[in-house]
């Protein structure tokens, strides 16, 4: 009897970017999956163009799906120019960088996560260690850092001159009734806060119209139809210390089921947590929805449950952004955002590019 790998290798029916196959019809039934060779496909948030490219190269060199995408997001985590992830990520209200990450490995059904961890440039590697070397799925705060140290991760200062400058300016703008001087008053050049639409190609999103909120999510399927997902972030800029977003929450910031697909998110984590966003997308794909349509449907749920007036524009629509990304076991993929203008990174067998995200609403509507 041939192994599953043999079956995959000897099957025919390679088509552009996708394999042939069917999904299980029920949640618990024996997987009714017939997967033939899949074109390796990786999707990520728009700041992950190099990440998807590296991940697919790593697969070609024989890496497992989880190692491939973790190496991909490591590029962004250690890049001080990305102020939404890892080293150089914007700090919390006390000026301390607290990072979140989670990941899932499809073939072993493994999961690991860290939340509000300080001093580690690449929290996705600590999440990987949680998955591989503990009986737990989520470590937080000081305990997460102690675990990281025990596993050999260096503890470093993650604040860069640029992220400190921006935090100092944010602190000065908080109130005109304290002793902190605004840049104009102190003779420093004034930094203009950008509005969400000025974040351009979706590289950054805003939590509340002022504070930038980025993240990287990356999801992959390899030639065998095996899947993995990872999300890593510094979270909401200037957040209340201890605030944890969706990124380290398995089922919210990312989710992977090796029978079906993988999905993840960027944007306002509170909205994603409340709707179990990534798990919802995978369940919708399980029921046969295309990844793009599953992302859109999960976004509709966010819109539906956003009833707080502080979170709604005059037209009733959310005043924040969420982006979803997904790939299924057959190599079909998609990305979607609440508002038009977002893009996402994709690499299909080595050809990396940015594609326009599907969306629910035009930005100019409100
Ligand atoms: N989606 C990232 C966060 O809310 O922290």
Phi, psi of 119 (to 5 degrees): 85, 5
Give the pLDDT of residue 205.
Answer: 52
Q: Is the dihedral of CA 330, 331, 332, 335 positive or negative?
A: positive
* pLDDT for res 352: 96
Question: What is the rounded end-to-end Cα distance, in angstroms, of the chain?
Answer: 61
Q: Please give the distance, rounded to the nearest whole angstrom, from the Cα atom of residue 117 to the centre of ligand 1.
A: 14
Q: Cα of 211 to ligand 1 centre, how many Å?
A: 12
Between strands 254-257 and 261-267, the pairing is: antiparallel
- What confidence score (pLDDT) does residue 188 get? 58
Residues of the chain with pLDDT under 50: 1-20, 26, 29-30, 190-204, 366
Q: Which of 99, 203, 208, 215 to mutate to test the pocket of ligand 1 (most atoms within 8 A of CB)?
A: 215
Residue nearest to atom 4 of ligand 1 (CA): 269
Find out whether 145 and 120 touch, Cβ atoms under 8 Å. yes
CB contact at 8 A, 351 and 20: no
Q: Please list the active-site residues.
A: 215
Q: Please write the tens of the pLDDT for every residue from 116-158.
A: 999 999 999 999 999 999 999 999 999 999 999 999 999 999 9
Asked if 166 and 90 touch (Cβ cutoff 8 Å), the reply is yes
Q: Which atom of ligand 1 is nearest to the CA of 272?
A: 1
Q: Residue 320 and residue 313: Cα distance in Å, rounded? A: 9
Q: Which pLDDT score is estimated for 28?
A: 52
The residues, any chain, with a CB within 8 Å of residue 196's CB and separated by 6 or more, are 205, 206, 209, 321, 339, 363
Angle at 134 between CA 129 and CA 137, to 5 degrees: 80
Task: Return the SS3 of 305.
Answer: helix
Q: Among the atoms of ligand 1, which is closest to the Cα of residue 270?
A: 4
For ligand 1, the distance from its centroid to the CA atom of residue 11, given in whole angstroms, is 41
Q: Is the pTM of this model over 0.85?
A: yes
Q: Which residues line ligand 1 (CB under 6 A)?
A: 213, 215, 233, 235-236, 245-247, 266-269
Structure tokens at 10: 């000897």
Q: How long is the chain? A: 366
Q: Which atom of ligand 1 sits closest to the CA of residue 235? A: 5
Region 38-361: CATH code? 3.60.20.30
What is residue 23's predicted lDDT score, i.e. its pLDDT? 53
- The residue contributing the CA closest to ligand 1 atom 5 is 235
The burial of 190, by beta-carbon neighbours within 10 Å (0-12 exposed, 13-18 middle, 19 or more buried), is given as exposed
Read off the tokens for 291. 């990844």
CA 231-129-86 angle, 5° bins: 40
Q: What is the Cα–Cα distance from 241 to 168, expressed in whole angstroms?
A: 16
Q: Reduced to 3 states, what is the DSSP secondary structure of residue 344?
A: strand
Instruction: Write the CB contacts of 272 (distance below 8 Å, at least 6 apart in sequence).
Output: 245, 246, 252, 253, 265, 278, 302, 322
| Probe residue for ligand 1, chosen from 89, 204, 236 as the CB with the greatest number of ligand atoms within 8 Å | 236
> 146 CA to middle of ligand 1, Å?
23
User: Of all atoms in ligand 1, which is nearest to the CA of residue 266?
Assistant: 1
From the CA of 224, how far away is ligand 1's center (Å)?
31
3-state secondary structure of 334: strand
Alpha-carbon Rg for the chain in angstroms: 20
């Amino acid at each position: 009897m041939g192994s599953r790998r043999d079956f995959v290798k000897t099957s025919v029916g390679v088509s552009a970017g996708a394999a042939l196959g069917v999904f299980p019809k029920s949640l618990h039934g024996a997987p009714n999956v017939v997967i033939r060779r899949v074109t390796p496909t990786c999707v990520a948030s728009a700041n992950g163009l190099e990440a998807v490219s590296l991940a697919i190269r790593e697969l070609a060199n024989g890496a497992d799906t989880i190692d491939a995408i973790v190496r991909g997001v490591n590029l962004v985590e250690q890049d001080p120019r990305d102020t939404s992830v890892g080293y150089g990520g914007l700090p919390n209200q006390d000026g301390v960088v607290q990072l979140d990450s989670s990941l899932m490995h499809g073939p072993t059904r493994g999961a690991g996560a860290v939340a509000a961890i300080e001093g580690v440039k690449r929290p996705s590697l600590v999440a990987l260690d949680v998955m591989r070397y503990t009986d737990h799925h989520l470590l937080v705060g000081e305990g997460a850092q102690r675990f990281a140290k025990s596993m050999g991760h260096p503890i470093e200062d993650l604040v860069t001159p640029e992220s400190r400058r921006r935090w100092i300016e944010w602190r000065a703008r908080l109130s005109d009734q304290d002793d902190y001087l605004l840049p104009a008053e102190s003779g420093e050049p004034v930094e203009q806060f950008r509005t969400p639409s000025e974040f351009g190609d979706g590289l950054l999103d805003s939590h509340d119209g002022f504070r930038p909120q980025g993240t990287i999510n990356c999801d992959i399927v390899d030639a065998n139809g095996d899947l993995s997902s990872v999300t890593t972030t510094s979270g909401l800029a200037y957040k209340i210390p201890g605030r944890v977003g969706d990124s380290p929450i398995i089922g919210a910031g990312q989710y992977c089921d090796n029978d079906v697909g993988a999905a993840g998110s960027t944007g306002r984590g509170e909205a994603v947590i409340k709707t179990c966003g990534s798990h919802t997308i995978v369940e919708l794909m399980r029921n046969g929805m295309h990844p793009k349509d599953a992302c859109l449907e999960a976004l509709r749920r966010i819109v539906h449950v956003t009833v707080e007036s502080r979170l709604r524009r005059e037209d009733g629509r959310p005043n924040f952004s969420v982006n979803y990304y997904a790939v299924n076991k057959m190599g079909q993929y998609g990305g979607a955002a609440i508002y038009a203008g977002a893009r996402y990174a994709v690499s299909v067998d080595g050809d990396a590019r940015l594609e326009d995200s599907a969306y629910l609403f035009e930005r100019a509507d409100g």
